[in-house]
Amino acid sequence: MADDDVVEAMAEVVKEEDSMELKEQKKNSWQRLQRHDSLDIESSLFPGHDSKAVKWSVILHLAFQSIGVVYGDIGTSPLYVYASTFTDGIKDNDDILGVLSLIFYTLTLIPLFKYVLIVLQANDNGEGGTFALYSLICRYAKVSLIPNQQAEDADLSNYQMELPNKGLQRASRLKSRLEKSNFAKYFLLFASMLGTSMVIGDGVLTPCISVLSAVDGIKIKAPHAMTEERIVWISVAILVLLFMVQRFGTDKVGYSFAPIICIWFALIGGIGVYNFIIYDPTVAKAINPKYIVDYFRRNKKAAWVSLGGVVLAITGTEALFADVGHFTVRSIQISMCCVTYPALILAYAGQASFLRKHNDLVKDTFYKSIPGDLFWPMFLVAVMASIIASQAMISGTFSIIQQSLSLGCFPRVKVLHTSAKYEGQVYIPEINYILMVACVAVTLGFRTTAKIGNAYGIAVVFVMTLTSTFLVLVMIIIWKTHISLVISYILIIGSVELLYLSSTLYKFNQGGYLPLAFAAVLIAVMYVWNYVFRTKYYYESEHKVSPEKLKQIAAGTSFCRITGVAIFYSELVQGIPPIFEHYVANVPALHSVLVFVSFKSLPISKIPVEERFLFRRVEPMELNVFRCVVRYGYTDVHTEEEPFEKLLMERLKTFIADKFGLFQRMMLEESEKNGEIHEDDRLVNGDTENEDVRLVEEKKQQDQAVEREIEAVDKAWHAGIVHLIGETEVVADRGASVSKRVMVDYAYNFMKRNLRQSAETSFDIPQRRMLKVGMTYEL
């Protein structure tokens, strides 16, 4: 009778476990089928509150913050757009209506329609920017050039966004072509690097043009006292101060700047309404696109060239997408539609009304159109707003560099997470100082907004065009958008952006070369780092230690096993790196527990901590050798609430227990398949009871084995942990070409020595328990 009770209890446990496992699988499947908005991730940071209430409080909170961080650049464009467009003066009064119509439809089509309504939906679990789009494509099509993909990666809860299968055949064809084409893989990587480089170029040019254009207004009231030299040096001082406060983080900077930008939008919108009523309300008819056609008919080539000035009305638009990781999609949509867009339309309409009566004042449109009593207050707010304008691209630059270095496309600089409350808010000291030096150099070199404006337009439109290219791939491969909508997007948005790009490139020799020069230098840095990173990975894959070799090493009589844990760090995710063989050739002792740890960045923005560690046992079991892949998203900061080694060892013990639990469930399932514990058999065959008792006994033995192994791991842990870090030097092999020698021996090693952040700094590895193992790779 007791045996019957045991059998029935065991059967109930198995049934309950199977039921819970099925529910968990359904839950995970549903999570993968959902399309996560970044708001869901933000809301999860506030446990214990009502979901809806927290969501809206977070949205409004971040919407206010975003005004101070995201919109400074596009918000200060009224300072210089008309002056940059009518460089040779206004020839016809109706040209003002044509330009106003161009500005209206450009603001509506690009920032509002393209970015707010479409591009923001392509965020990667809350992250935006060129590399976020690239990572999305890499997940759905195998276009990554680094072969570190694992089947288990797809099991992550937020790895995929499964969408309806309409257009699946077209998506599959395009996906297949991308995966088979090396040219396509390199093109996508190069396009990502180019987009990143242009965003960084924006981060240099935005502060220069914004601050210079604001400070330049003082010469209207003091033309003799404020010379060009003094204006330039005042601008330089302001720029240096701006970059010095970046260390305090987006959270504090955003709260400081948001009220100022709100006042700025209120003033330019209010003054716009005043000028609209006082001077010429008929400019409202510029909503008719007929005036654009008339403008081109009258001015022909000059109208096309002037597009380089009109496009400055949308500078900083890419910040809406690049900075989405600092906020949420919905918060940026609210702040753009309710505050930024209406204020800008009113400001440009008011300036157009003023210019209709004062054609000769186009060079100083902004300051001349201000009512007399408001000049000095407006000047002070303009200077502060221009300072803040730089913040959008600076924070966007930090975000996109963090993404690129996590994907192996940028030297490993130090990334600081500046907010414990909000994810994605980072500060990179080295990049901050490089941007500051570049901004000062450009300001001192170009000295006027006209020259900087020529360079600025190219960087702005290049990034937008690249974003559209990636977005079309996302539409086809991931969203499976109807082909008619994809073609419509290309014809409308693509043609407009290419038209603007052609106009800005016309001014290449007038300063337009500057962002392309920046891009060339940055792409060279990124390509060299990525090339060596990939080549080194292939080298380790080809020379990894085979299982047979590991058994020989462990079974060798010349080696002794000492109690303790040895953690070997490498970048190889599949197999044991060659540096281990180099180590045992020089140190004839192995610890009782060996863990080979590799850090892997996935093409996904964030990975939950509970899914971060992926363990595998290296056979035979008696060796106590494990491999562990620690997976990070490209926006995850490598700092944990608990010490890394504690997390690692706890996850290792969990893995050991789970593996035995999995074995037990498999054994029971196999017994069911063979008819050994079916209910009918239990009633008919009395021998089944004995079989069930045997299973219970085996389960007890397995539990004891688990306890013994976990005790052995605990004993080794308490005896001490040694961290063995591979310090690999890379050199070009003897038969390498000159270009390869330059890239590997000089460029890469120079960047590694001067920029790379070491593993012990990233993961707080104790110096007294760290041992570096040196080895040279000939690539």
Summarize pLDDT for 605-637 with one digit per residue, the tens.
Answer: 678 777 888 888 887 777 788 888 888 876 676
Burial classification of residue 82, based on how many CB atoms lie within 10 Å of its CB (0-12 exposed, 13-18 middle, 19 or more buried): buried
Confidence at 350, pLDDT banded by 50, 70, 90:
very high
pLDDT value at position 216?
Answer: 82
Q: Report the distance separating Cα 615 and Cα 652, nearest Å.
A: 7
Between 76 and 176, name the one with better pLDDT: 76
431 pLDDT above the threshold of 80: yes
Q: Which of 44-58, 339-353, 513-527 has the lowest mean pLDDT?
A: 44-58
Q: What is the spatial order of strands in the sheet that 770-778 belongs to? A: 613-618, 625-633, 589-602, 560-570, 721-731, 770-778
In terms of C-beta density within 10 A (0-12 exposed, 13-18 middle, 19 or more buried), how is residue 641 classed?
A: exposed
429 has pLDDT over 60: yes
User: 365 with 355: CB under 8 angstroms?
Assistant: yes
Q: Provide mean pLDDT across the span 392-404.
A: 75
Task: Give me the mean pLDDT over the 36-41 stretch.
Answer: 30
Question: What is the predicted pLDDT for the residue at 424?
Answer: 54
More confident residue, 235 or 589: 235
The model carries a pTM of 0.72
CB 179 within 8 A of CB 142: yes
What is d(CA 475, CA 482) in angstroms, rounded to the nearest whole number? 9
Q: How confident is the model at residue 53, as a pLDDT?
A: 38
CA dist list (Å): 438 to 197, 458, 663: 14, 18, 60
The number of CA neighbours under 13 Å toward the Cβ of 127 is 30
Task: Give the residue, 538 or 100, on which the prediction is more confident.
Answer: 100
Rounded CA separation 71/315 (Å): 10
d(CA 446, CA 456): 12
CA distance 776 to 744: 12
Distance of alpha carbon 126 from alpha carbon 423, whole angstroms = 10
Is the CB of residue 578 less than 8 Å from the CB of residue 775?
yes
Report the distance separating Cα 249 and Cα 637, nearest Å. Answer: 15
pLDDT of residue 27: 41
**Residue 193 banded pLDDT, cuts 50, 70, 90:** confident
Least confidently predicted of 35-39, 213-217, 225-229, 380-384: 35-39
Q: How would DSSP label each residue in 647-685? A: HHHHHHHHHHHHHHHHHHHHHHHHHHHTTSS-HHHHHH-
Q: What is the pLDDT of residues 252-297, one digit of tens each?
A: 555 677 888 899 999 999 999 999 999 999 999 999 999 999 999 9
pLDDT value of position 339: 92
**Residues 435-450: pLDDT tens digits?**
899 989 988 888 777 7
Residue 441: which of 707, 236, 677, 263 has the closest Cα?
236
Is residue 507 helix, strand or coil? coil
**341 falls in which pLDDT band (50, 70, 90)?**
very high
443 closest CA partner among 210, 218, 245: 210
Which segments within 397-463 are labelled E, that is strand?
416-417, 426-427
The pLDDT tens digits for 449-497 are 777 877 888 888 888 898 999 899 888 888 888 889 999 999 999 999 9
Rg of the Cα atoms in the chain: 31
CB neighbour burial string for 166-181, b if at least 16 within 10 angstroms, e if fewer: ebeebbeebbeebeee
Across the chain, mean pLDDT equals 78
